[in-house]
Each structure stands twice: as C-alpha cells, then as structure tokens.
Amino acid sequence: MGYIDEVLERVKTKNAAEPEFLQAVEEVLETIRPAIEANEEKYKKEALLERITEPERVVRFRVPWVDDKGQVQVNVGYRVQFNSAIGPYKGGLRFHPSVNLGIIKFLGFEQIFKNSLTGLPIGGGKGGSDFDPKGKSDREVMAFCQSFMTELCRHIGPDTDVPAGDIGVGGREIGYMFGQYKRIRNAYEGVLTGKGLTFGGSLARTEATGYGLLYITEELMKCHGESMEGKTVVVSGAGNVAIYAIQKAHQMGAKVVTCSDSTGWIYDSEGIDVELLREVKEVKRARLTEYAAARKSAEYHEGRGVWQIKCDIALPCATQNELHLEDAKQLVANGCKAVCEGANMPTTLDATKYLQENGVYFICGKASNAGGVATSALEMSQNSERLSWTFEEVDSKLKDIMVNIYHNIDDAAKRYGKEGDYVTGSNIAGFEKVAEAMTAQGIV
C-alpha cells in the first residue's frame, strides 16, 4: 500500500464518526497524489500527511447562557486550531444546530489550503457552536456571544488565532464578541475580522466572499472565450455569500434567477431583486416567503430544487453537500457550463466527478470562496497599521487575489498533466506552500 493510502486508512479509522471531515481529507489526499508521489520517501519519513491531517489543537467548551424566560441554556463551543505553518490560525465561527466536531474539523482542514491559496500569511482554523441564532432576541444572541467569548478569549489573539463569521455569524455576532473580548482582555486589537466599520472593520469585507466568487468565475469564463454578459445564473442560499454573489453577477450583466434558504427556494424570472432580498434576510431575518409575497415575478417552492432550473452557471452558496449526483446530472442535461462553489464543500464527491467528466468547468470552494478570508487578512493588515483603506483599494486587491488564484490553480493542474482539473490544481497549489513551510520548521 502506498503512503497516501496508508494515511487515508489511518485517518478513516481514527475519525470514523466524522463523515464530513473524512470527505474533505479524501478529496485533498486523492488529488495531491502526483505531488506526494514525487517526494514520497521524504514526506513519509517526516510523517507530513499524518501531521497535516491532525489538528495542532482542539478546544471544546461549555457555553451557558440565560434565555429571555430566565431559563439557563447550555451549548457546546469549539475552536479547531488546525495548522499554523504559514501564519496565525484564521477562519470563521459557525453558529448552527448541526455543528459538531467533525464539521468544524472539515472546515478547519479546508481552510488550511484555502488560506494558502490567497497568498497571504494565514494558517487554518475554524470554530463555532450548536447554538441556533434563529428566532432568538438580540439580547439572547448577546448573552450567548458574551458567554462564548468569555471562554474563547483565552485561546485567541491577533498574532495567534483570528476568528471571523460563517453560517449564523455576521456583523451583529462579531460586534458582541469583540466587545466582550476587549472587556476581558483590556486590549483593543484586531482579534476578529468582519468587524463593524466604526471599530476596525474593513470596507468590502461584507461583500468579499460573493464578489470574489464572481471575480474568479469571470476569469474562468474569460479564459474559455466567454463573458458573464447575458448568462443565466442559478444561486443557492440567501445569506452573506449568496446576496453579494447575486449583486456582483448582476453588475457583470448576468441574470440570477434563483436563491434558497433552509426551508424553500425562489424562482424569479425577472432576476432576483437584491435590495428586496437584503431587506428580507439581513434586516427582517425572515423567510423567503416574504420575498415572494412582495414580488410578482417570483415563485416560492418548499424544499430544495434550484438545480433543476436551466442555467449557464451554477453557484452553490448555502452549505456542505447541497449539490448531489442527481442535481449534477440535471445541470449537465440543461447545458450548464460552469459550477463555482461559494459555500464550503457544497458539492458531493460523486457529483463533482460527474460534472468534471461531463465537461463542466468546476472550481472548488477552497479556491472560489477564498475572497472572504483574503479580505479578512486585508482587515488584519489595516488593523496592524492602524489605517483604513478605501472600498476601491480593498476591492481591487480582492480582484487581483482572485485572478491570481485562478491562474495558480490552472498552472498547478497543467504542471501535473491535469489541465482543466481545478480541484487537483487547488489542492496541489495550496498544499505545496504549507508543506514547504512545515518541512522548514522541523518536527512540530
């Protein structure tokens, strides 16, 4: 058995109850095979793959808080500090009832390679809780965030680990957590990103993941002799990533006809009205039924279904494993040309394979959604120099980063004779930098 297969077996045995983590590891290890085989003896002696698949540190803690009825509630908090070879741990916090250690580990593992692809000095980490912000009052959310940070603040710092948002964590939650960190540590520092603009946040961070997704999609299309103009786009999700992906797609002359949330989805033949969507989701925190009620051209459907709509480009922007093999078949049958992931691991492994084998250009999340964390790293730079850059400055850096990522993953795929396989290209390009840094730093 070769080195990769030995490690894969061991990872599967040790983490048998963590299917999402195993899925993420399998995708990376299977595709970096040619890069590993070129240096197999060296990597095996250094146990590089055993080290890269084992988090440097996992913190799990109790989060007690009091609800509006005076009842004490208890949630679980996590921070997985996965790899600090190229910089301080960096990655979001997810608040969602489905959160468990395996999900946070998969996200932390992905983050190592994504952060490497940005070209910026950030390591990989992720955290969160099984707390559900849905239906909670602002006071309850604040009570939870303060309790969560009371424990988390011992483990993070601006040069150690810098969390940010993810599902269920946006500007409101980051604000409450920043306030509590500052109060306990008595330090005004850039320990979180995605902060409000009045207390150290960066312009364009809110938009960055969605905008970055469209910048890389546009570059992909351009390099295949196409433009975004006039394209029909299908988007899933209706949160931070989806909203700004839709906005930028429209600015580029495409028409986005769908979005979805955890209960249903919208088909809007006139194109999604972003301002209305923002009002429903960002301001009212309501369901998409309110969008449909306010707009004649919109149909609301319960359940899932956006991938059945005919499109040129599909952008999954909700959550992991939301695009299955049967969805991939439908997309191919409808003539879809490109799938670029805004969410983390939204496409199952068999769906990915099917899309690639049927000539659909496919860019995986660790490349295509890297604009969010890249802009977080730009927020860290601004905090360090105690200055704020203009929206245009940040946005133009973001665009350069995304275009560079496209060419780096394209080149890496070509170097290993896998032209057009952007999953292999992303994983190899992300891995090479981290592996070199780990080797140089000795056995740690």
Closest by CA to 105, choosing from 172, 209, 16, is: 16
Residue 126 designated active-site: yes
Interface region with ligand 2IT, contact rule CB under 6 A, candidates 213-221, 256-264, 280-288, 371-379: 371-379
**Running DSSP on this structure, what letter comes out for residue 409?**
H
Q: Which residue is nearest to ligand NDP (CB)?
A: 239
> Residue 193: is it exposed, middle or buried by C-beta count within 10 angstroms (0-12/13-18/19+)?
buried
Interface region with ligand NDP, contact rule CB under 6 A, candidates 4-12, 164-172, 221-229, 269-277: 164-172
Binding residue for ligand 2IT, selected from 118, 193, 217, 258, defined by CB under 6 A = 193
Query: Per-residue x/- mask for ligand 2IT, residues 77 to 116, rule CB under 6 A?
Result: -------------xxx---------------------x--
H/E element, 209: helix 205-223
CA-to-CA separations, 369 to 3, 173, 241, 315, 378, in angstroms, rounded? 30, 21, 9, 11, 15
Query: Per-residue x/- mask for ligand NDP, residues 369 to 398, rule CB under 6 A?
Result: x--x--------------------------
> Toward ligand NDP, which CB reaches closer, 282 or 432?
282
Binding residue for ligand NDP, selected from 73, 100, 150, 262, defined by CB under 6 A = 262
Ramachandran angles phi, psi of 204, nearest 5° = 75, 0
Binding residue for ligand NDP, selected from 108, 200, 239, 425, defined by CB under 6 A = 239
Query: Per-residue x/- mask for ligand NDP, residues 298 to 337, rule CB under 6 A?
Result: -------------------xxx------------------
CA-to-CA separations, 367 to 198, 220, 245, 262, in angstroms, rounded? 30, 12, 15, 25
Per partner kind, with CB cut-offs from 5 to 8 A, the member of ligand NDP, ligand 2IT, none near residue 334 is none
| Smallest separation, CB 272 to ligand NDP (Å) | 13
Asked if residues 232 and 255 have their Cβ atoms less than 8 Å apart, the reply is yes
Sign of torsion over alpha carbons 94, 106, 217, 390 = positive
Give, in degrees to the nearest 5, the angle at Cα 292 between 288 and 296. 160
**Helix, strand or coil for residue 353?**
helix
Binding residue for ligand NDP, selected from 27, 140, 161, 166, defined by CB under 6 A = 166
Closest by CA to 337, choosing from 309, 358, 366, 364, is: 358
180's tokens: 């509590």
270's tokens: 């006139």
Q: Can residue 261 be called a binding residue for ligand NDP (CB under 6 A)?
A: yes
CB atoms within 10 A of CB 127: 31
Q: Can residue 165 be called a binding residue for ligand NDP (CB under 6 A)?
A: yes
Ramachandran angles phi, psi of 203, nearest 5° = -55, 145
H/E element, 259: strand 258-260
Residue tagged 């959160």 (tokens): 99
Among residues 90, 105, 114, 126, the one annotated as catalytic is 126
Per partner kind, with CB cut-offs from 5 to 8 A, the member of ligand NDP, ligand 2IT, none near residue 96 is ligand NDP
Query: Per-residue x/- mask for ligand NDP, residues 73 to 112, rule CB under 6 A?
Result: -----------------------x----------------
Active site members: 126
**Site residues, ligand 2IT (CB under 6 A):** 90-92, 114, 164, 166, 193, 344, 372-373, 376
**Site residues, ligand NDP (CB under 6 A):** 96, 165-168, 209, 237-242, 261-262, 317-319, 342-344, 369, 372
